[in-house]
Structure 1
């Protein structure tokens, strides 16, 4: 198979963003005198969008809809101002992207992070590499729903089976399989090999440049 496009997840795949995410959510939790969390806990909270992260971070007794909405709005306001303070590309990602740019392959990003934040992070850290860059706009279209991934294929003018989807969670692998794309999991992100394989990964990468071997 000749692959014509690669779609990347963002958090845990292209960038390590867990400290900025955790710091912002902990500010919200402190505001309401709720317990805060270590970064390791936030690694288990991410992957399904910021609203889901807020729900997971709140104490179980405080997860009523009004409090979720209030904390979500506060989280978005804080995080949007500091989403690139500590967030950095993983080692080897820029080298991989530089190699991919020399090949006739289209590069895109699809994240469950809010669309405006996805664009802000990608454009700040990877200017000129990806088009289009898409985050979550409609909750019902959140990964592993393949809707947006399939729409991306139409935009890129490639078939799903000509597309590689690269991510670090089971949700990413399920998205790829639901869209009939090649599911490629990465081990430098927030989840382990067991989760990726159970999620349906067809390949596992130990280092970003391992992706070149698949091509």
Structure 2
């Protein structure tokens, strides 16, 4: 099979964003005198969108739609101002993206991070060869729903079978499988190899340039 396109997850795959995400959420929690969490714990909270992150972080005995929505507004404001403070591409990512672009592979990003913030992080930290760059606009379209991934294929004029989906979580592997794409997990992200394998990963990358071997 000749692969013509690669869709990347963002957080935990292309960039290590856990510090900025955790710092912003902890700021929201501190303002309400709620317990905060360390960076490793936040790695288990992320991947399902910011609303789910908030539902995981706030005390369960306080959980309500009103509180979640209020914290969502506060989190979006706080994180939007700090989303590139500590966030950096993982080692080897920039070289990988440039190599793939030079080979004529079409490159895209699909994230469960809110769309505006996804675009902001990519624009600030990654090469401009990624297009389209899409984040979450509607909760119903959140990964592992494959609809947006399939829309990206149509926009790039490739088939799902010609497309690799690269991510760091079971959500990403499930998205790839539901879209009939090759599922590639990364070992440097927010989840472990066991989760990726159990979710159906066809390959596990241990360093970014390993992706070239699959091509």
TM-score bin (small chain): over 0.9
Provide the rounded CA distance (Å) in 2 between the counterparts of 1:73 and 1:200: 35
Match in the other structure for 1:137: 137
Q: Distance in 1 between matches of 2:126 and 2:15?
A: 10
| 2:125 aligned residue | 125
Partner in structure 1 of residue 30 of structure 2:
30
User: 1:116 Cα shift?
Assistant: 0.2
Partner SS, residue 132 of structure 1: strand
Contact 2:5/2:158, CA 8 A, preserved across alignment = yes
Would you identify which runs of 4 or more consecutive aligned residues in structure 1 move more than 3 Å? none
Q: Distance in 2 between matches of 1:103 and 1:135?
A: 26
Q: TM-score, normalised by structure 1?
A: 0.99
Aligned to 2:183: 183
Match of 2:176, SS state, is helix
Q: Deviations over 1:122-143 (max 9, x none)?
A: 0100141200000000100000
Partner of 2:164: 164
Residue equivalent to 2:17:
17
Measure the CA separation in 2 of the matches of 1:128 and 1:11: 17
Instruction: Name structure 1 gaps, 5 residues minimum.
Output: none
TM-score (norm 2): 0.99
Q: Which SS does the other structure have where 1:124 is aligned?
A: helix
SS at match of 1:53: helix
Deviation at 1:89, TM superposition (A): 0.3
Counterpart-to-counterpart distance in 2, 1:191 and 1:27:
24
Distance, in Å, in 1 between the alignment partners of 2:127 and 2:214 is 25
User: Which whole-Å deviations, capped at 9, do the CAs of 1:25-80 have from their partners, x for residues lacking one?
Assistant: 00000000000000001000000000100110001011100000000100000000
Q: Structure 1 residue 111 and structure 2 residue 105: aligned?
A: no
| Corresponding residue of 1:62 | 62
Whole-Å separation in 2 of the counterparts to 1:127 and 1:185: 21
Shift of 1:98: 1.3
Aligned-residue CA RMSD (Å): 0.5
CA separation in 1, counterparts of 2:141 and 2:189?
23
- State the alpha-carbon separation in 2 of the partners of residues 127 and 80 from structure 1: 20
Distance 2:111 2:160 in 1: 17
Kindly tell me the number of residue pairs found equivalent between the two proteins: 215
